[in-house]
Structure 1
Amino acid sequence: MTLHKEGTATILITLVSTALVYMILRYFLPEQNLIHAAWLVVSAVLLLIVLQFFRKPKRLIERNEKYILAPADGKVVVIEDTVEDEYFKGPRKQISIFMSPVNVHINFNPISGLVKYFRYHPGKYLVAWHPKSSTENERSTIVVEHKNGVEILFRQVAGALARRLVWYVEEGKPVTQGNEFGFIKFGSRIDVYLPLETKVLCQIDDKTVGGKTVIAEF
């Protein structure tokens, strides 16, 4: 287990700010040892919380061209037929995975292929389970074409806590199944849009492991 590079700034800010508060307490309340000790405990808890947000577990990825892997750790909250309006502009099967604050926040490519489309959209910060979060929240949309010609779309959606999306993909460049494609700070959700005939292998409330759990197959 290591720490993800996206956590560097946040961890440093946490360390500096908690240390600064401690020095202020020592200066203005030099005799209040109980308060000093209490703040050290609070600081340690805050640091542990931040560290767990940015943990990066080691995972052995088993790639398979037939499978569509979960793009994130979390819980399956949506499996339904819907209309995708941004790219496909037509009916698709949607699978959504909710990432809680205690989940790993790294995002993984569900398939290998070529990035055909990428867009970032600023937006609102509705709670991730809000019906309009997929179309009104801050989000990024990525479409990857599999070598069999099938395109799938996956979308990072920011939530009430997650206010920064990070991505490592570029339109026109290849991606590899199971490799990192992005990071969502402090949790949110990822929507995956598949052809209607895709065989879904997960169920509502299933727990997923990003880059490991098979959610569907071609």
Structure 2
Amino acid sequence: MPALPSARFHTTVAHLRQLPREGLPEVAFIGRSNAGKSSAINALCRRRRLAFSSSTPGRTQALNYYAIGRETDPPEGFLVDMPGYGYAQAPGEVRRAWDVLAGNYLRDRPPLRAAVLMIDIRRLFTDLDRRMLGWLPSRLPLLVLLTKCDKFGTAQQTAARRAVLAELAEQHARPDAAVVLFSAENRKGVDEARAIIEQWFEAAAAETASTQPQPQPPEGPTDEPS
């Protein structure tokens, strides 16, 4: 499985009926507006301008699909960049449209294999983040990136990570979630997070291979005893 730096834009999905039908493994990237989601995706993929932040948070209500794999071959999987939530100025109908698109995608999308949740380390969990966690099926592996950790000192970073781990285990029944201190500025946690995401795709590829029919050896002539 090629690494995340093979990612390139594939399509934009504004309605559930537009979702790709390939059934390839997908990893969703979710987070509040201004939590640093686009910067995190670009850092993980070693690209400067793969994911873009909207100049008006909350106005772009769509899922952006990025294909991974050799460009000369069909995609082997997708990174799915979800629109940021928590935009105070978005009208009610825009918020409701986001709920329909994002909520149904997260709850009911069979190819979705895992999720990456971006949390600004200066805010930690908000009520909207907790609502988002409620949408995620418990079967999905979860990686939480505490973004912008360069804004804190080492002791503050450690305390924030401990608090997030405790809440995930005690309030959201996710004791196995990975929590990584992350900064797109100084690259802290980038390699660790990238390795976790690539392992998800590798596991999905191995699972798919194990379910494929195995070729049978050709039948040759049988020597009959005389």
Query: Structure 2 length as normaliser, TM-score?
Result: 0.27
Structure with greater helix share of residues:
2
Query: Structure 1 length as normaliser, TM-score?
Result: 0.27
Structure with greater strand share of residues:
1
Higher relative contact order (CA 8 A, sep 6+): 1
